[in-house]
Amino acid sequence: MPQLNVELAGRIAPVDELVNTLEFEGMAKRKLGAPAYGLVSGGDRKAFEKITFRPRLMVNTTGLDLSLDLLGTKHFAPILVGPVADAARFHTDGEVGLAKGASGAKALIVISSKSSVPVAKVAAEAPAGWWLQIGPGDSISTVRAAVDSGCGAVCLTLSAGGTDWNVVDALRKASGVPIVLKGIMAPEEALAAAQHGIGAVVVSNYVDGTPPPANTFAAPMEVLPEIAKAVSGKMPILLDGGIRRGSDVLKALALGASAVLVARPAVWGLAVHGPAGVQRVVEILQTDLARDMAMCGRPTLKTIDPSIVKINRW
């Protein structure tokens, strides 16, 4: 009887053998202990799984271009590495590894103010650009230090207790860079942000840096279309939550997002292969997005619209 080739228990595949982010998650589960893996496992995928594409044939996509202008800066693709607090829990390189991997894929990184490594040290490894993510308790001095180090925008994660617009206005005036509000889940919140001169909003149900209890809130992808309709181009909208494939990115763009944040998959890449793993994860998403744009006959981000998707009521 022929002997079967069986993968060794606990084997970590080489970085170039991993072809999608979910494979990275499987490797991260092997690499991390249960407590650390539990912090970055899973994700709500139901909203994405209800959406299918309408392919378009006979469209010239040889000039495929994923680039976009966002808050005055040109980006290679609409995929940013989202903030991760205390990333040293997942790899000894911590946020430095995330920044190196993101920049290797020409992607901007959002650095958490709760970084396990000094923010300035992380920023030095982010030539593709970086933003600072802060919470309601962070000081103006923290923001000014980041701006002096080259921070392109400040991403304020909102509190579950509501938005103090006086604080937001003071931050906007003191920072001198665009303010991005993270934690927007309703059209009226996005419209208020536009009225207060906010540069962009992130549709996300994470508040105070923690995920919502299961089955308590709608998924960000579910509320994205109505927020995009209300904002009507007044500011860029980013989506954070559940992105695992390039097709997820395209679905978000079709329903009104300008770009997406990816955090957990980047951490999986970091945990498994350090900076090279982060770079591989982001490049997989970029490549898959390009393929799916071509399949739908949309060679640039500006040509993407809701007509390429169908939301199924399963």
The two three-digit tokens of residue 19, written as one number: 């072809």
Q: CA-CA distance, 305 to 254, in Å (whole number)?
A: 5
Helices (H) and strands (E) in the chain, counts: 11, 12
The two three-digit tokens of residue 35, written as one number: 């407590």
Q: Minimal CA–CA distance to 243: which of 70, 82, 134?
A: 82
Q: What is the pLDDT of residues 136-155, one digit of tens each?
A: 889 999 999 999 999 999 99
pLDDT at 214: 52
Q: CA-CA distance, 54 to 32, in Å (whole number)?
A: 39
Would you say the C-alpha torsion 233, 238, 242, 243 has a positive or negative sign?
positive
- State the chain's mean pLDDT as an integer: 93
Q: Minimal CA–CA distance to 289: which of 243, 239, 246, 251?
A: 246
Q: CA-CA distance, 152 to 129, in Å (whole number)?
A: 7
Q: CA-CA distance, 164 to 172, in Å (whole number)?
A: 13
pLDDT at 313: 83
At 9, is the pLDDT very low, low, confident or very high (cuts 50, 70, 90)?
low
The DSSP result for 55-98, as a single string, is ---S---TT-B--EEETTEEESSSEEEPP-TTGGGT-TTHHHHH
Q: What is the pLDDT of residues 184-218, one digit of tens each?
A: 999 999 999 999 999 999 999 976 555 555 545 68
At 7, is the pLDDT very low, low, confident or very high (cuts 50, 70, 90)?
low
3-state secondary structure 170-216: HHHHHHCCCEEEEEECCHHHHHHHHHCCCCEEEECCCECCECCCCCC
Contacts (Cβ under 8 Å, ≥6 apart) of 233: none
Q: CA-CA distance, 150 to 147, in Å (whole number)?
A: 5
Q: What is the pLDDT of residues 259-294, one digit of tens each?
A: 999 999 999 999 999 999 999 999 999 999 999 999
The domains of the chain, with CATH numbers, are 74-292 (3.20.20.70)
Q: What is the pLDDT of residues 214-249, one digit of tens each?
A: 545 689 999 999 999 999 999 999 999 999 999 999
pLDDT at 207: 61
* pTM (two decimals): 0.94
pLDDT at 218: 85
